[in-house]
Amino acid sequence: MSRARVTLEEIDSARERIDGVVHRTPLDTSRTFAELSGAASVGLKLENVQRTGSFKIRGAYNTMAQLSPDERDAGVIASSAGNHAQGVALAGDLLDVETTIVVPEVTPAAKIEATRGYGAEVVVEGDIYERSYEYALERAAETGETFVHPFDDEAIVAGQGTIGLELLEQYPEIDTALVAIGGGGLISGIGTVLKAAERDVRVIGVQPEGAAHAKPSLEGEGIHELDDVDTVAEGIADTRMLETTVEIAREVVDDVVSVSDREIAAAVTLLAERAKTVAESAGAAPLAAALSDRTDLEGEHVGVVISGGNVNLTDHAELTRTGLHELERYTEARLALEGWPTAVSDVVETVAAEGAELDVLERARRTSVDHPNRTPVTIGLEGSGPEHLEGVLAALDALEGVSVVERSLN
């Protein structure tokens, strides 16, 4: 077996180097998530409240602080799906290094604007991250700019590994850590620390089903690469790991599980509702795994790394609505109303009386199946569960002048 190329001593040095630049993020225990997962306790490592909104500043600053004067003078270029971009941009601002970031078209506007806000030039190139990565490498070769890799670099891995040091200090009872995998820099760094701990800590990687490349890479001999990715979790929508992270992860990762986009959306929803924290889809993926049946966490103390919180508010709203659908706490229905708009008042009052939330009420486009003397209306309802929602719809259907003609509980 090959030796992992990042040592605990290098991660300790990285912590000293980034001290005063990054936040020591909180570890928030959640009784709710422990009950839902069967764990003895769940500790949320909240990197979504880190500077730039994700863990990426740790590795970016650790790397760029070690560049030679010539490398700094040449300027830095990086490719990113968003969070590495902000980390590199902030590091460049703090270290007085000019930075250019290449991002794919799927990158949320909030991440692009935040990156520009740190003084970086942003170039949008490629439909997925791999195309952006190739373009950045080509440009670096032409211009002489210093390329800072988002994950396949020992200094990046060492910087991300500082999260593992904090986890052990803040949550010494930890039995299992759930960590998202994109390119593998985060889990390689955290895993290196946890596998050097005195207690036996299990390290489990989490990927979306639409970008699940890591497991075959870690279990086989080569690097498995996907032709394409399809996931809402753009922050971990990589098509492959690379040599550095594969080598390290093979030694420090015990297993990799995949979760669906709908499970991720449910995790985003529960984090907002129960933990009062905003997480992007990639950041919520480890919690989705904890709440699924993919891992046996019974009686364990489980660390869940919430790696980022950079998400557009409109995207977050859509994710939470999808999450409520997945949790069977949201339904949409089509009503036929007699005596518009008087019947609308009856609908609103009935929903409130039944203890539900009326999220949407709008007049619908009339179709050939609609009664010509009835007004078609669509509504969106949030409730405590499917039985509650069925009860609300039944109460609406019992109203004089109101008929429920179509419903969808999921």
Identify whether the C-beta of residue 55 lies closer than 8 Å to the C-beta of residue 286.
Answer: no
Rounded mean pLDDT for each run of 10 residues along the chain, 410 residues in total: 76 98 98 97 98 97 97 95 89 97 85 89 88 94 96 97 98 98 97 96 98 95 93 91 96 98 98 97 98 96 97 92 95 93 93 96 90 93 96 96 82
Domains of the chain: 1-327 (3.40.50.1100), 329-408 (3.30.70.60)
Is residue 129 packed enough to be buried (19+ CB in 10 Å), middle (13-18) or exposed (0-12)? buried
pLDDT at residue 25, as a whole number: 98
Predicted local confidence at residue 1, as pLDDT: 40
Catalytic residues: 56, 307
Confidence at residue 339, expressed as pLDDT on a 0 to 100 scale: 87
| Helix, strand, coil percentages, rounded to 5, for the chain | 45, 20, 35
pLDDT of residue 4: 54
Query: What value, to the nearest 5°, has the Cα angle with vertex 190 and ends 188 and 196?
Result: 100
Long-range contacts formed by 293-299: CB under 8 A, 24+ apart: 294/257, 294/258, 294/259, 295/176, 295/178, 295/204, 295/255, 295/257, 297/37, 297/38, 297/39, 297/176, 298/38, 298/39, 299/38, 299/39, 299/40
User: First and final CA of the chain: distance in angstroms?
Assistant: 48
pTM of the predicted model as reported, rounded to 2 decimal places: 0.92
**Token digits of residue 235:** 């922050």
Q: Rounded to an integer, what distance in angstroms lies between the CA atom of residue 393 and that of residue 408?
A: 11
In the prediction, which pLDDT does 257 show? 98
